[in-house]
Structure 1
């Protein structure tokens, strides 16, 4: 058990880090994330004291790349204390949330650059758009994501879509070279050609969520629905919307005529947000192939094959 005392002395109940987080980040003993995990209990205790927060609980199973702690502020207001894992984009969530300033996204109350801690308004973590029927969920998702698409701040730290997607091209080629991926190679080739074409003629320069899907939109008090957990970058809306097209793809696969249903979803979302259909189809195919190969490479062949099948429908 990895734990830290609550403010109040060594007799206080410990904080236990969720097993999902430990499993996700503990594989490489030399990883900066492994070192961070060892220091995390102390960081949590320090932040609770420094910001005069009262611990409520650590939600479980929690996330794979950050620790979430439910707390109350000195005035009794509920809040969420978040510690994102270290990495090349560790400070980007803070920068994006500060720029949105609560418009369409969870409100950043305060942050600590030294520890990376973020104090966020408390949302209803158990109620996401995935709790709604699909048609209603897509409508609410579209209304939420359009608020996030604003010009980035001057001197922002975010990658462009071209840069972010370009960094993974060689890795995708290596994964696709595996014997098991032989049937997927024509799709991989098409996906990489589309990425090259779409990246070379970006029509927009907007701040994007980066990982926008129904599970990343939670119910709130200040607004009905607010986005959380961005991996922000800058580029065109079609790239951001592609992840939403892929949402609940297992539901489409279980229904009749999944290929036609997938193409209808592309058309409906593109038209509702005034996004070019062909560009949305292209980025959706690329993101489906990219995610499918990565899932399959880490052993989740079922999810990987479903995403590759979805790409084939397009």
Structure 2
């Protein structure tokens, strides 16, 4: 009864044998973690793509969140990242069960997302940029970095360049196999950026990995707290694009190029990152997203590729 029928993970992983097995085991996982941490649980939130989460109350009266994730590579470093950030701009980690993949987290109250805030778009971007600058300033123990072929802590952080190099390979394979009719030069350029940008990074930090307006929540301990990292170690320029894109749609403005330049410049002013480099990352990510979309059986989005071309122009590429 604690697993709602609308749980988003059913749609995303329920067709996989390992996903179905995890869903079948989820009620027992919930009960075991509830009892181990002596929690009172409220009704779970619906809509998670690969996790189950519910409000909880601790014996000492604190509000919390119980989150249980389907085990997959992107979620493995969440607890370690929250320990690195230690509640400085993020929710605090109260407890972690690495076997059951359960997290007991500080609850952000009232929990309004940055995307739903009435603040103007660029003020919301300032909030996000300041938070990311804080996250990027945290020192990272090299032992927690899982560079390809060198081991590292299994609960640590993938190297961003290793991840995006795999994406570049997939971009090229999907372009050849699916033939979506995209500009081959732009696709090749996107793949090249996915390989070259991490290698040329002026600095490497612990990136959030999924920075978007839905993962920044209004809170009391601090005005805003970041949740749900999918952390990697590498170029901070990777992080801002989804915020720039989703705070409101820049491509629906009368002059999208001017809006994009202003937003990348805002991030640059706050974080010290090169705005052209941020636009280059956005180009690479838009190309990768477009090929991923087609690989899932969807019709090619030529609008998305036109947006990638505009981002490339903003970057001066």
TM-score range (shorter-chain normalised) is: 0.7 to 0.9
Cα separation, 1, equivalents of 2:106 and 2:298: 34
Q: In the alignment, is residue 54 of structure 1 matched against residue 40 of structure 2?
A: yes
Per-residue deviation at 1:24?
Answer: 1.0
Q: Could you say what secondary structure the match of 2:201 adopts?
A: coil
Q: Could you say what secondary structure the match of 2:42 adopts?
A: strand
Q: 1:107 aligned to 83, 86, 92, which one?
A: 92
Cα separation, 1, equivalents of 2:293 and 2:175: 12
Q: How large is the RMSD of aligned CA atoms in angstroms?
A: 2.1
Residue in structure 2 matched with residue 286 of structure 1 by the alignment: 284
Q: In the alignment, is residue 34 of structure 1 matched against residue 34 of structure 2?
A: no
Cα separation, 1, equivalents of 2:98 and 2:16: 25
Cα separation, 1, equivalents of 2:223 and 2:297: 37
Q: In the alignment, is residue 24 of structure 1 matched against residue 12 of structure 2?
A: yes
Distance 1:107 1:306, change over 3 A: farther
Q: Could you say what secondary structure the match of 2:143 adopts?
A: coil
Q: 1:308 aligned to 280, 305, 309, which one?
A: 305
**TM-score (structure 2 length as normaliser):** 0.87
Distance 1:187 1:234, change over 3 A: same
Contact 1:262–1:310 (CA<8 Å) still a contact in 2?
A: no
Contact 2:126–2:266 (CA<8 Å) still a contact in 1?
A: no
Cα separation, 1, equivalents of 2:251 and 2:140: 37
Cα separation, 1, equivalents of 2:71 and 2:280: 32
Give the aligned length.
Answer: 297
| Mapping for residues 40-79 of structure 1, pairs under 5 Å | 40-60=26-46, 62-79=47-64
Per-residue deviation at 1:270?
Answer: 1.9
Cα separation, 2, equivalents of 1:141 and 1:301: 33
Show structure 1 runs of 4+ deviating over 6 A.
Answer: none
Cα separation, 2, equivalents of 1:55 and 1:142: 34
